[in-house]
Amino acid sequence: MDRRKMLGLAGAGALGAAAGGAVGLQVFDDPPPARANDPGAAVPFYGARQAGIVTPAQDRLHFVAFDVITEKKAEVAELLRKWTAAAARMTAGRDAGAIGAVNGVPEAAPDDTGEAIGLPPSGLTLTVGFGPTFFRTAEGKDRFGIADRRPEALADLPKFAKDALKPEISGGDICVQACAHDPQVAVHAVRNLARIGFGVVSVRWSQLGFGRTSSTSRTQQTARNLFGFKDGTANLKAEDTKLLDEQLWVQPGDGPEWMTGGSYMVTRKIRMVIETWDRTSLAEQEAIIGRNKGEGAALGKAGEFDEPDFSGETIPRDSHVRLAHPQFNDGARLLRRGYNFVDGSDGLGRLDAGLFFIAYQRDPRKQFVPIQTRLSRQDALNEYIRHVSSGLFACPPGVSAADDSWGRALFV
Amino acid sequence: MDRRKMLGLAGAGALGAAAGGAVGLQVFDDPPPARANDPGAAVPFYGARQAGIVTPAQDRLHFVAFDVITEKKAEVAELLRKWTAAAARMTAGRDAGAIGAVNGVPEAAPDDTGEAIGLPPSGLTLTVGFGPTFFRTAEGKDRFGIADRRPEALADLPKFAKDALKPEISGGDICVQACAHDPQVAVHAVRNLARIGFGVVSVRWSQLGFGRTSSTSRTQQTARNLFGFKDGTANLKAEDTKLLDEQLWVQPGDGPEWMTGGSYMVTRKIRMVIETWDRTSLAEQEAIIGRNKGEGAALGKAGEFDEPDFSGETIPRDSHVRLAHPQFNDGARLLRRGYNFVDGSDGLGRLDAGLFFIAYQRDPRKQFVPIQTRLSRQDALNEYIRHVSSGLFACPPGVSAADDSWGRALFV
C-alpha cells in the first residue's frame, strides 16, 4: 500500500460513517513523480552496501539509538526482518504498513503513523548499526549467544582527554541513521521503527540535525558548520573508489565475514561554545581551524581544494586542519557525515548547539581512535568544544534482496 | 556587505598572510538569483505589518525568548535599533554585519558568525514580540518606566486545567520568531541576534521546529502534525482580509496606540504522547480529532474543506474539531502558525515530540483564553498531550522605513 495512494478501511471516520458505520475508503492521488536530481526522489534501498554512507549527504538527520529490552534472540531476529521490510517501504516513499484497518480488524492501531502521507521519498536512507553491547552487555552477558561474533574492530573507544560524555545519550545496542531532505520524512521513519519495535527495543537516545556538514560526494558543495567554517573539504568522497576500499569498507579477511562490505560508524555529539567563539577575532578563528573562513582555503592557499602546505608555520601546529590531516595520522582518513544541531538553550543563557559528528571507516582502531587521541590532546579548537556523547556501531553490508534482512548473517 | 559577496579583511587567515601578515581579501561569487516561488527567495522586511504572521508559513522555525538583563532603558532601545538593522540585512540574505575585520580592527570579532555564507535568503522572516515581564517584572518592578504602556490584552494567561508548564522554558521579556525554508538560515539569524544582544539580553529558551503545521495561505497545502492528521484546515488565512481585521490585527481604539496594526502571539509547547497514540485504533483517533486521517474531512463529510456538520452525533461532542470550532467559541478564531518538534528522547524510551503551537490574534482574552479553557477541560485529545511551555507576547506593527525600529513607538 502506497502512502500516496492510501486505501484506508476506516470505522467511524470515513465516508459513509454517518450513514450508520459503513466501511469507507480513503483514496489519495499520486503526487507528481520525482524528477532526476529532485530532492524528493528515492534512494535505492537494496544493494551490496547500505545506503546512507556514501550517498550524497542529505540535508537532515534523525539519528536514534535503541536498547534491546528482550532476551529472546528470535524476537530480535524477527524485529530486524520487520524493520528491513518497513525500511524498504519507507525509503521508497511508501508507508511503514497499512494506515487503515489492519488485516481487516478496525480496532487495530494503524501500521503507519500517517504524518508522511503525501510527502515524496525525499532521499530517505536508513542505515543500521550494532553497538558493542548488542554482542555482550556492559555487565558481560551474552544475551543472544553472539558474543563470539563481535568484531575485534568494534572495541570500546578509549576515554579521550577532555571527554565529558553523558552515558544516557551515549552508546546503544542498535542504531539507525535516518537521513532525508525533509525532516518530517526522517522523523516519520524513526518513529515508525520505534513503534514496530515496541516491547523488543526501547529508544535510548535520539538526535536531530540539519545542514549536513561534510559533503560525501564531489557533486556537492561543502557546507558550513556552526563555527561558520566549511566542514568536510578533505572528506573521503563517494567518487574515491580506491580510497574507499582502503579506508571505508571492511574487506575480506578484516574480521568476521558478516561485516565484509560493511563499515564502522563513530558518533560524537560535540557541543560548541559558540558564544565564546563568536567573540574571537577572525584571525584567531582562522589560525585555530587552519583555513580561512570565507573560501575555506588552507592558510596560505587560494582555493578550497588546494593542498595545504604544512612545511612552514603558516598553518599553526595546533590547528585543527593540521592535526586531523592524513599526513600526520599515518594516512588514516574518515568518511564524515555530520550534521549541525541546535537543541534549544542550556538554561545558562546560551544556545545548546554544535556538531553531531558521524564518521564511517574500515577500522576505528586505526582511524578514529588515533586521530581523536591526537586531537583531544593538542587541538586548539578544544577550548571551544566539548564531546558530550559517543557511539560506536558495526554497520553490516547492504540488504541484497527482498528476502534478506538487516544483520541476517549475524543470526544464521 | 553582502554575505554572498564577502570582502573579508583578514589577518593571519587570508591570502598573502604567508608573505608576512599582509591584509588579504576574501571574495565570493553571487549565487544564482532567486526565482519566483523559489523557497530561496526573500520576504520583504519593511511594511505596515510584521512579516512572519500572514506570510505563507515557511517550513522551519527557530523560536527564541530572551530575558533582558540590563536595567538601562537606553541600552534596550539601542539594542532594538541594532536588531532591526540586522534583521533587515539578514532577511534580505545579507550578513548581520561585517564578517571580516570590523572597522578596520583585525582583533575585533566578526559581526557575523558565517554559517549562512552562500545560502540564499530562504524566505527568512523575523517577528518580534514583547512579553508581560518586559513592562513589569514578575517581582512588580517597572524597570524601563513603560509599565503604563502595557496593553490590557497582554494579561497573563490563566492556569488551564492539566497545564504542566516548566517555567524555565516559558515566558520571556522579548521573543523572536525566525521562520525560513532552511533551518541553517533561521538558526543563523537567532544566533546573530543573541550575539548582538550580549550583555543586554540573555537567551531564556529556544525551540526548533519543522514541517509547518497550519498553513497560513490558501496557496499552501495543509501539512500534518505528529498525530498524523492534517492540521490547520480551518485556520485563518492571509486571503481572509476582512476576517483578519476582525480576528488578527489590533484595531485603532483596541488598546495602546503603539500596538495598532500589531497582533498578540501565544506559544504553547505541546508534548504529544505519541507512543500511546500510535497504539490507538484509526477509528478512535478519528473520533478524537473529529476528522478522518487521510483526507482531513470532518467526520461524515468527503472533502477537507467541507463545512463540518455538528447537528448530530457524527462528530463526537468531546472531539477536538468541535470544541475548537468558532461555532462553539462565540466566533473566536486564531491564526495558527505551529511547527512539529522532536527534541531527542525523554530518557524513558520515548521520543520527546509534539507540536510547538503558535497562534496570533487580536485579543487573547477573547480568543485563545476561552478556547483553551474549553479545550483543557473537555477535549478528548488531552489524554495524549501535555502543555509544557507557554508564552504570551505583544507583537507591534511592522517597521516602515530604514530609520524606524522594532518597538520604537514604545520608547518614544
Tens of pLDDT, residue by residue over B33-68, are: 444 457 889 999 999 999 999 999 999 999 999 999
In this predicted structure, what is the pLDDT of residue B357?
98
pLDDT surpasses 60 at B250: yes
**pLDDT band, very low/low/confident/very high, at B31 (cuts 50, 70, 90):** very low
Mean pLDDT, chain A, as a whole number? 89
**pLDDT band, very low/low/confident/very high, at A2 (cuts 50, 70, 90):** very low
B73 and B4 housed in the same domain: no
pLDDT digits (tens, 9 = 90+) for B326-335: 999 999 999 9
CA distance B57 to B62: 13
Contact A190 B286 (CB under 8 A): no
Q: What angle do CA A145, A150, A152 make, to 5 degrees?
A: 150
Domain that holds residue B24: 1-30
pLDDT surpasses 50 at B13: no
In this predicted structure, what is the pLDDT of residue B107?
79
State the residue for C-alpha cell 497545502.
Answer: B221
Amino acid symbol at A200: V
| SS3 (DSSP) at B388 | strand
In this predicted structure, what is the pLDDT of residue B411?
84
pLDDT digits (tens, 9 = 90+) for A57-111: 999 999 999 999 999 999 999 999 999 999 999 999 999 987 766 666 767 888 9
Q: For chain B, how big is the Rg over CA atoms in Å?
A: 23
Interface contact B209, partner A, CB < 8 A:
no
B24 and B121 housed in the same domain: no
In this predicted structure, what is the pLDDT of residue A214?
79
In a domain, A168, yes or no: yes
B6 and B75 housed in the same domain: no
Q: What is the mean pLDDT of residues B223-241?
A: 94
Element (H, E) at A303: none
What residues in B contact A208, CB-CB < 8 Å? Answer: 208, 342-344
Say how far residue B336 (Cα) sits from the centre of its chain.
10
In this predicted structure, what is the pLDDT of residue B98?
78
Closest chain A CA to residue B203:
A349
In this predicted structure, what is the pLDDT of residue B350?
92
Most confident of A96-105, A115-124, A209-218: A115-124
What residues in A contact B275, CB-CB < 8 Å? Answer: 194-195, 198
In this predicted structure, what is the pLDDT of residue B412?
76
Domain count, chain A: 1
pLDDT surpasses 90 at A357: yes
* Residue, of A291 and A16, whose pLDDT is higher: A291
B17 and B165 housed in the same domain: no
Q: What is the mean pLDDT of residues A157-170?
A: 97
In a domain, A28, yes or no: no
pLDDT digits (tens, 9 = 90+) for B311-346: 999 999 999 999 999 999 999 999 999 999 999 999
pLDDT surpasses 70 at A400: yes
What residues in B contact A281, CB-CB < 8 Å? Answer: 11, 106-110
Q: pTM (2 decimals)? A: 0.92
Interface contact A394, partner B, CB < 8 A:
no
pLDDT surpasses 50 at B19: no
Phi first, then psi: give them for residue B256, nearest 5 degrees.
-60, 145
Closest chain A CA to residue B9:
A282
pLDDT digits (tens, 9 = 90+) for A230-262: 999 989 999 999 999 999 999 999 989 999 999
Residue B210 C-alpha cell reads as 519543522
Give yes or no for a contact between B59 and B184, defined as CB atoms under 8 angstroms apart. no
pLDDT digits (tens, 9 = 90+) for A9-48: 333 333 333 333 223 333 333 333 444 457 889 999 999 9
B18 and B36 housed in the same domain: no
B1 and B66 housed in the same domain: no
In this predicted structure, what is the pLDDT of residue A3?
52
Contact A13 B283 (CB under 8 A): yes
In this predicted structure, what is the pLDDT of residue A36?
44
In a domain, A9, yes or no: no
Phi first, then psi: give them for residue A243, nearest 5 degrees.
-60, -35
Q: Is B362 exposed, middle or buried (0-12, 13-18, 19+ CB in 10 A)?
A: buried
In this predicted structure, what is the pLDDT of residue B160?
98
Nearest to B18 among A182, A314, A351 (CB): A314
Long-range contacts of range B228-232, CB-CB < 8 Å, 24 or more positions apart?
Answer: B228/A110, B228/A112, B228/A113, B228/A114, B228/A115, B228/A117, B228/B285, B228/B293, B229/A114, B229/B285, B229/B289, B229/B291, B229/B293, B229/B296, B230/B291, B230/B296, B230/B304, B231/B336, B231/B338, B231/B355, B232/B336, B232/B338
B35 and B25 housed in the same domain: no
In a domain, A216, yes or no: yes
Interface contact B48, partner A, CB < 8 A:
no
Contact B291 A13 (CB under 8 A): yes
Q: What is the mean pLDDT of residues B349-354?
A: 94
* Residue, of B40 and B288, whose pLDDT is higher: B288
What residues in B contact A202, CB-CB < 8 Å? Answer: 349
| SS3 (DSSP) at A345 | strand
Cβ neighbours of residue A376 closer than 8 Å, sequence gap 6 or more: A160, A161, A162, A163, A382, A387
Of A21-25, A125-129, A262-266, A368-372, the least confident = A21-25
Of A3-17, A264-278, B33-47, B290-304, the least confident = A3-17
Contact B184 A229 (CB under 8 A): no
pLDDT surpasses 50 at B1: no
B192 and B46 housed in the same domain: yes
Of A161-165, A210-214, A381-385, the least confident = A210-214
Mean pLDDT, chain B, as a whole number? 89
Report which of A83, A72, A71, A93 is spatially closest to residue A5, judged by C-alpha positions: A93
In this predicted structure, what is the pLDDT of residue A37?
59
B129 and B231 housed in the same domain: yes
Closest chain B CA to residue A224:
B115
B216 and B88 housed in the same domain: yes
In this predicted structure, what is the pLDDT of residue A18?
31
- Most A CBs within 10 Å: which of B62, B112, B115, as the mutation test of the A interface? B115
In this predicted structure, what is the pLDDT of residue A213?
77
In this predicted structure, what is the pLDDT of residue A376?
98
